[in-house]
Amino acid sequence: MPLTFPSRQSNSKPNRHSQGFLRHINRFFSGLINTAYDIGCNLLKSSLIEDDKSPIRSGHGVECGPFAITTTTFSIEHIKQIKTKLQVTVNDVITGVIIFGTRLYMQRANQDSSKGNCTALVLLNTRAIGGYKSVSEMIKPNAEMPWGNRFAFLQVSIPNLTASELNNPLKFVYKASQLIKRQRNSAAVYLTGQFLDAMTKIRGPEATARYIYGKLNNSSLMISNMIGPVEQMSLANIPIKGLYFTVPGIPQSLQLTIVSYVEKLRIVMSVEKGFIDPNKFKSCIEYAFEAISKAALE
């Protein structure tokens, strides 16, 4: 009677199960570590730790000061081509462009500032969206979608600009992709939103406003985005060529807001007037996009 041996398929099945189990375990523990680290950094950033003064951070509250606003527009189809070529997401590409362009401006203004401690706060909407609700429904106790804003901050450290990154701008896109993936494996955003809600209920909206102000004041820039209409709008039968939004009253010298509209993506740069040159900053963002596009597609 011939000897029989177990097939490879029967051995590979438990191996696949064990590998999948180990991946889940690793992801779980790395998520715990990322969450603890992010929450600790968020608390310290709002009270003790602040970014270095740099060409994009004057270091004093400028919420009531004059600001200059400039915009630039990119093709969403072009961004998708870069995304497909690099196998990343649209957010990765845009974040890489902003990080690279910001560091370029800092380096051109002050060579040493390109290695300074610089943090971006990404404003995220955590409000549940489940269709239209009237005001009377939203103000009811324990409403499914209660009245008021629901948001949280995602803290992103901007990588330094070195000679290797300057010669290979795609590194900024890949670094942005790594940062975003790491933040996704963290419950810090959800817990931060819950923390802000609890603080508002216990200590009142003034305490929450002071906490948010401290976090903004200690960081270098703010980034926020929203999805706009995919079809052209009109007002009084006059076609609207473009639109954008900005966040007034923040203490930072630089904020960038992003909105899509009819296959175009507009980046709005709101800068402290007399401190940041809006035209030079805009040219750095546009150069960063061109450099990343050329490196990715050619």
Instruction: Give 246-295 pLDDT, tens digit per residue.
Output: 888 888 899 999 999 989 999 999 999 989 999 999 999 999 999 999 99
The half-sphere exposure of 156 on its side-chain side, counting CA atoms within 13 A, is 29
Cα 148 → chain centroid: 22
Least Cα distance to 73 among 261, 297, 234, 273 occurs for 261
Cα separation, 291 vs 168, whole angstroms: 9
pLDDT in tens, the chain (298 residues): 444 434 445 454 556 666 665 666 776 667 677 677 666 666 666 567 788 889 999 877 677 778 899 999 999 999 999 999 999 988 889 989 999 999 999 998 888 777 778 888 887 666 655 555 677 777 777 777 666 666 667 777 888 877 777 788 898 888 888 877 776 666 766 777 777 778 888 888 888 888 888 888 888 898 888 888 888 899 888 999 888 888 888 888 999 999 999 899 999 999 999 899 999 999 999 999 999 999 998 8
Alpha-carbon torsion, ordered 266, 272, 276, 282, to 10 deg: 10
Residue at 193: amino acid letter:
G
Domains along the sequence of the chain with CATH = 14-297 (3.30.559)
Torsions phi, psi for 153 (to 5 deg): -110, 140
Report the predicted TM-score, pTM, of the whole model to 2 decimal places.
0.78
Least Cα distance to 279 among 128, 108, 124 occurs for 108
Least Cα distance to 51 among 105, 118, 113, 112 occurs for 118
Distances (CA, A) of 148 to 126, 135, 197, 210: 11, 10, 11, 18
271, 254 Cβ separation under 8 angstroms? yes
Q: Which two tokens stand for residue 223?
A: 């980034």
Q: Which helix (H) or strand (E) holds 179?
A: helix 170-184
